[in-house]
Chains A and B, each alone.
Chain A
Amino acid sequence: MKPLRKQGIIIFSILALVLVACGGATEETSEEEVVAEEVTEALDSPAVTTAGTVKTGVGITEEACPEVISNIPTGADPTKGCIYLGMLNDYSGPFGAAGPALDIGQRAFWLWANSTGGIGDYSVAIREGFDASYNPQKHLEGYNSLKDSVAAFSMSLGTPQTLFILDNLNEDDMVAVPMSWWSGWAYKGVDASTVIEFGTQYCADGMNAMDWASANAGPLTGGLVDINTVGIIGYESDYGKDFAFGIKAAAANAGVEVAWEYLAPPTEFDVTQAVGLLVTKPVDAYFLATGLAVAPQVAGGAAQQGVTPFAMFLGTSYNDAFVAEGSAVKGLFESGLIYAMSFGIAPYEADTVGHATMRQTLGQITDSASTFFVGGWGSQYHLKGVLEGALKGGDLTRAGIRRAATNVTVSSDGMMPEKKLGSGLPDVASTITKPDGSVGSGAVVVKKDYVGPSASAYDWSVGPCS
């Protein structure tokens, strides 16, 4: 290649890069609707739109949403504009199998929400999900590829992954719903109100598991179990550490001794060691926060050696496969000695208006009662509340949406307790379930919205548990 031509190509490439870099940040456009009256109420005001001017920005169009995205109807009103959301999901990798159900749950939610009025003059549609494969770098790639065409993210799956894009969310005035229940999401100091948390966080689940077990293990086992000593088994991860912190805090409150704690990284977790601890250092109860792979091995391995203490599993450690027909551990999990915290939200069959609406809508799409459908659906309630709050404030730009996320009370038709976002107070009410293969989700609710004395008394203003 001739030097001159080569130089030309290099200069052209540099210019192209500079142009791309400069053009990356799309300016927020502002479109005004009919001006009628001034904003007189705060964002957190009654459900009436008081603002006459509605500013809109990136990711919002006056054209209607597509009728179908990802083979699921959007339910969009063809006479309304469209608020587009992005989705950072996993369709491959360790949580790849959960991705489709999370995806469908969210789309089903907006199908219902659009059919019942949408967000003011807009319907809401989630663009095709990006497969981040539980990889922070790919997560960031997905974020960058979608950020200029969406007003917010309906999901950012995983705590480490969401932490990885936190600075970008902050710089872009973008809000995202995390598909994880790390205790840090409740604090402005951590996420600068860019993360719209939902569901019970792992730390409060730990406190409530300990308190509930202390109070109920005796009556439930006919007085056979009196909890004085406990053990903790889990992954050294956001959920394992959060859960362990909660258990230890509640144990200290209740005067219960934590005899041992085994938290190891997922790749170094040794079932033999966990079972060895249960066998050689017996405890009255143990609390487990691992993935699905090792949970039945630990419980089953201890049972084989005649050790079946009372046990409480975090939602990450339990699913319906354990009690399905043919499962090797079905009898053990249905023995009445093992209980599970819900996966952020009460399971599929729970008796709330929100659950009933979800079942009715999802029933048209799937016959599964998977926990992940519930997570997908329930995760959108708070985002809907934030969008409604922003609409009330007359500002549907990303900055307006973010501002709403700092000061709006959101509800979820009873699926979760009402919550004021940005208050620094996390959801601390847990749902405690009992494994039962006769229902689709594999778990029946024993106690919903349980807040034990430890979670009630704990000073949540101090920040994340781990």
Chain B
Amino acid sequence: MNIFLQATFEGLSLGAVYSLVAIGFVLIFRATDVLSFAQPAMVVVGAGIISYFSTQIGIPFIVAFFLGIILTGVLGLILERTFLRPMVGEPVFSVAVLTIGIDILLRVVLDNWIGINPKYMGDPFPSYGNFGSFNMAGLTVKYLEVTALITALMLIFVLSVFFKKSKYGVAMRATSLDQEAALAQGINVGRVFGLVWFIAGLLAAFAGFFITGGFNTLTNTSFISALRALPAVVIGGLDSITGAVVGSLIIGLTQAYVGYYQFDIESAYNIKLGNGFSIVAPYVIMFVILIVKPDGLFGTEEVERV
């Protein structure tokens, strides 16, 4: 039972972090109809900025953390204004390819800075309790993971309030429904696009820290963790924030359960799923869901006249 609870807690924590990346994907998609492949790069750039300020400049971690978050958001804003804005009206496919280019650009610069040695975030979590964890009713709870879970829940709550109550939140929803109608109503759609990239940058930096914090470290392969949010948004539906969260939790839990139970299942049923299956399993689920519901669990069904 303890193992099941342990796997469940770790899966929920993983899923919560993935959901921050996934929400960024969804926000940009809803506003611009483009799946931004630059989002995983934004995740590691956010972590890189935090690490730089914290461990190389030497400013207190908490200041470095918030500075990193803000700067990554600003970076998102700059990317939108410089690369994406001139592409308004161009085919969606072209813009998506452009985001791949941005992804490569950001990661090349970051990888050169990272070098061969893993970079630490300079966070205090590993020094708390037993190597950064404490025991609760036989369950090992990691400070970093529990913080990730709480932070993700808070951010999701704040975002949902923002979308419902704030002027810009409503403007973003309107823009996502119909850009031309939003323009006709006096909404500054360009500003909304910028705001979307800014928020996606903030979320990416939060996720970046939780992916690379503690023992995890930032390396030139860290972006692969952020990439796992991609099946999450496909499972949940590309245009649904609820779907992004649910999809992320499905991915996180699947990864954790397979990680903890794969060897037992293989022994019990005398089968061999192969090492690394826990990473592949979310994609298997994605394929199954796509067959049953091509628009994802919470995605809007679209019928196009051909």
Contact = CB atoms under 8 A, between A and B. Distances in A.
A205 B125 CA distance: 34
A260 B263 contact: yes
Nearest to B139: A305
| Residue among B126, B131, B135, B279 with max Cβ neighbours from chain A (10 Å) | B131
Contact of A268 (B116, B132, B222, B275): B275
Contacts of A266: 221
A97 B132 CA distance: 30
B215 A268 contact: no
Given A280-B3, A304-B133, A306-B130, A321 B215 contact: no
B260 A304 contact: no
Interface in B100-156: 108, 111-112, 114-118, 120, 122-123, 125-127, 130-133, 135, 140, 142
Contacts of B123: 328
Contacts of A66: none
Interface in B11-38: 14
Nearest to A324: B117
Interface in B276-293: 276, 278-280
A281 B214 CA distance: 24
Given A94-B220, A272-B259, A273-B262, A296 B55 contact: no
Contact of A273 (B3, B55, B132, B258): B258
Contacts of B220: 94, 293
Nearest to B123: A328
A97 B224 CA distance: 19
B216 interface: yes
A273 B140 contact: no
B7 interface: yes
B259 A329 contact: no
Interface residues of A, number: 48
A293 B217 CA distance: 7
Interface in A252-270: 260, 262-270
Interface of B: 3, 6-7, 10, 14, 55, 108, 111-112, 114-118, 120, 122-123, 125-127, 130-133, 135, 140, 142, 214-217, 219-222, 224, 255-256, 258-260, 262-263, 275-276, 278-280
A326 interface: yes
A275 B214 CA distance: 15
A11 interface: no
Contact of B10 (A272, A277, A319, A326): A272
Contacts of B216: 297
Contacts, number: 124
Nearest to A265: B276
B140 A305 contact: yes
Contacts of A273: 258-260, 262, 278
A120 interface: no
B118 A267 contact: no
B116 A326 contact: no
B276 A303 contact: no
Given A273-B259, A276-B260, A300-B214, A305 B278 contact: no
Interface string A382-410: 00000000000000000000000000000
A300 B126 contact: yes
Contacts of A322: 118
Contact of B276 (A268, A280, A301, A306): A268
Contact of B215 (A269, A297, A306): A297
Given A304-B133, A304-B142, A306-B130, A270 B259 contact: yes
A431 B117 CA distance: 22
A256 B259 CA distance: 25
A136 interface: no
Given A305-B6, A328-B126, 7 more contacts: A95-B116, A264-B276, A264-B279, A268-B280, A273-B258, A281-B263, A301-B215
A330 to B, nearest CB: 9
Nearest to A331: B131
Interface in A276-328: 276-277, 279-281, 291-293, 296-297, 299-301, 303-306, 319-322, 326-328
Q: Which 10 interchain pairs have the tightest Cβ spacing?
A: A268-B276, A300-B215, A97-B115, A97-B116, A264-B276, A273-B259, A293-B219, A321-B117, A304-B133, A328-B126
A94 B220 CA distance: 7
Given A260-B263, A305-B133, A328-B120, A269 B276 contact: yes
Contacts of B115: 96-97
A267 B120 CA distance: 21
Contacts of B108: 92
A236 interface: yes
Interface in A307-361: 319-322, 326-329, 331-332
